[in-house]
Amino acid sequence: MSEPSAQDAKKLLRARLNEQRLVHAKDPSHPAALSQQLVALCQQLGAKTVAAYLPFGAEPNIGVFVAGGSAHGLTLIMPVANTDGTMHWVNYTGQSAPGIFGFDEPTGPAAKLSDADLILIPASAVDIRGNRLGKGKGFYDVALADPAITAPVAAVVYEAEVLDSLPTEEHDQPVGFIVTPARLVSIS
């Protein structure tokens, strides 16, 4: 019997992780703990413009960080999905509207990802080498492949989603940091 392809292995892993994620998402301490870790990372890097995201479903809830961004002197820019598999970016004003997948996405004036000092991205899992498992549509891989994007990238996950290794494909874009409610990891 042959080994599953990286794409098939990713699908199986996502399904297993999604079941566990529903349990982690119910922990009421996670949003505040994630906010503390994210503020610490911004301070460590001197980041003032942060690309963030509106959490959806059982994704790690960075809502406390997003809501308190301006109190920490941060400008937040956020992605909006396009039908062609790319994203465009907006300055977050606190407003949102349903996007192409039916869930709320931010609205606001146009922004450029290349202006970010730090990029926070959701992930289903990340390994200790910085390989990230997304949802499988590749939106962030496309955005991060742009050579104009030079800011450090941090994957936000639950602690149980930090794994020893992940299957990877050539287009996958690695991250430099892992943020969980319990810790901040710099990939060396």
From the number of C-beta atoms within 10 Å of its C-beta (0-12, 13-18, 19+), residue 107 rates as middle
The mean of the pLDDT values for the chain is 91
Domain spans in the chain, listed from the N-terminal domain onward:
6-186
pLDDT digits (tens, 9 = 90+) for 39-79: 999 999 999 999 999 998 889 999 999 999 988 999 999 99
Q: What is the DSSP string of 74-124?
A: -EEEEEEE-TTS-EEEEE--S-EEE-TTSSEEE--SEE-GGG-SEEEEE-S
Judge contact between 51 and 37, C-beta under 8 A. Answer: no
Percentage of the chain exceeding pLDDT 70: 97
Q: What tokens does 172 get?
A: 């996958």
Task: Please give the CATH architecture assigned to the domain spanning 6-186.
Answer: 3-Layer(aba) Sandwich (3.40)
The pLDDT, as a whole number, for residue 4 is 60
| Average pLDDT of the segment spanning 83-112 | 93
| Average pLDDT of the segment spanning 166-174 | 84
pLDDT digits (tens, 9 = 90+) for 129-150: 999 988 767 789 889 999 999 9
More confident residue, 30 or 25: 30
Q: What is the pTM of this model?
A: 0.90
Confidence of residue 2 (pLDDT cuts 50, 70, 90): very low
